[in-house]
Structure 1
Amino acid sequence: MMKARTPVLIVSALIVSQLILSTTTATANNRALIAPLEIGTLHARSATRLSSVSFPVGTSSKSSPSGLAPPPINAMTGFHLTYVNNFNGTKLPVGWDVFTGIPGGAPGGQFGSAHVQVGGGLLRLNTWRDPRYQNRWVTGGLCQCGLTRIYGAYFVRSRVTGGGANEVQLLWPANNTWPPEIDFNENGGNLNATSSTVHWGSRNFAVRRVLAIDMTKWHTWGVVWTHSKIDFVVDGHVWTSITQPAAITRIPMRLDLEQRTICSEHRQCPTTPVSMLVDWIAEYAPG
């Protein structure tokens, strides 16, 4: 979820069972990366070995909207469960705050508090034309502002109902000073792909990687952030990782879930109402 134009290194990939990876390099404003990440082809070769499930996916449950309930306490070796919520109530849980106003970096966008709902065992972020905002496409967004940490593992069981709006799951600095930022599931309005992006440094260096996947189906998205590596996970598989020391933030971060539109620029704009559906969230801390 970029706040400004930035040099980006892009790695495109298919999911673990069908890995076909390639790399391209892009720069903005004719600026090259000062310290390019040592990834790309080297990483693509190693990624083909990531075939086993190594991180939590969930536990089978007929009563869960997604078919999987949150993973157990001991699901991660070397980590312990610190937070879990399956949104079984009708109100937003304590520790979460809904966004209002204009999203940063999204010209013409608008958050609305009524666009975040809890019910039927789901957290729903909803985008629709809202007459309270001149019939613009208004989106839902919220943060787990009541819980921040340095290092941890976050898992979000979710799917989207349609395309157009940019659906984002990310870690954001607790002090609201950007960068850093860790986007672990950002689809850019697409239904057949998502991406991860890590932003860091005063000049906003970034590395972005793309995963081809059906976003309308239920998936367990994860990010495992340690002092030496950031793993990006889908359905228990690590699909890409960051190991560049400068890219790994070491300040408190929080979990944000957002939808965004840029309809004023005729992109990331839906044509029908769309939602991000979240069945549950589980978080682990090292130790």
Structure 2
Amino acid sequence: MTSYYSPSDRYGSDVLAASSPASHRRKPSEQVPATPGLVVEDPQTGWVGAVVRVEKMGGVHVVALEDRRGKLKSFELGPGFLIDGRPVVLVPAARGGRGTRNPGVSSVGASAAGTSPAGAKRTASGSIAVEGARARVARGSRLWVEGRHDAELIEKVWGDDLRIEGIVVEPLGGLDVLPEKLAEFKPTAGRKIGVLADHLIAGTKETRLVDGLADRHPGALLVLGHPYVDIWAAVKPAVVGIDAWPDVPKGEPWKEGTLARLGWPHRTPSDVRAGWQRILGCVKTYADVEATLSGRVEELIDFVTVD
């Protein structure tokens, strides 16, 4: 029998709510569709994971969340979840359109098969494919990534979505040039910039580089990151046929060190390019990359496409 957590007691009751003079001004939590890849937290249990599927069990909607180790846990859909520390109410995703990937079914199963249960074709990102659609004229907004490999992975998985939305992905050549690029681009509410950064975790140089940038461009800049030292490691190890990505000592070039420990050619730039193409060739759908990455990419695409 499958068990799940109910949101009814996640925060407990607020004994001051009835008497607080400000209680009537409290804003309700935002309702967010539970789309596959969305990363959320259940604060009561501390479970953090990406939405894999939504299904009905015992007359209620239940969301399955996959953590970074690939383990699943189910929770009752509704209030009491957090996204980036912000309270939200998870609701079933509507069918059709961007941001409604595989509602009510396993994201892995549907994307791998290439169709939904109703027979609709799916893109590599899990979106419903729009037959015969032409690429949209490029928007003013942009999606910036650190390097060429990041751009190639995003193109392979989300390329169809990006062409439909008219979003261009541009490699920065390193996060250290971001302030200079922003000064040149001058983002506005109508010309947004979404940035995907590698290794964006507390205490790293990457975090220090982007700290405060969004405050200088309110509503026009969103910088999100994944925890991996390189985009290669955002590809699930099993997809490449390994148990885990090798540990490379600090100070040693990560790509070359990884290839060496895998027993692959690693001494020249051509070896590195060949190694990356071998890894990229193993990726077929968004189910082949870590949910931490797919959730961030989805959020950035939504940011630069929603006015």
TM-score, scaled to structure 1: 0.26
TM-score when scaled to structure 2? 0.25
Higher strand share: 1
Larger radius of gyration: 2
Higher percent of residues as helix:
2
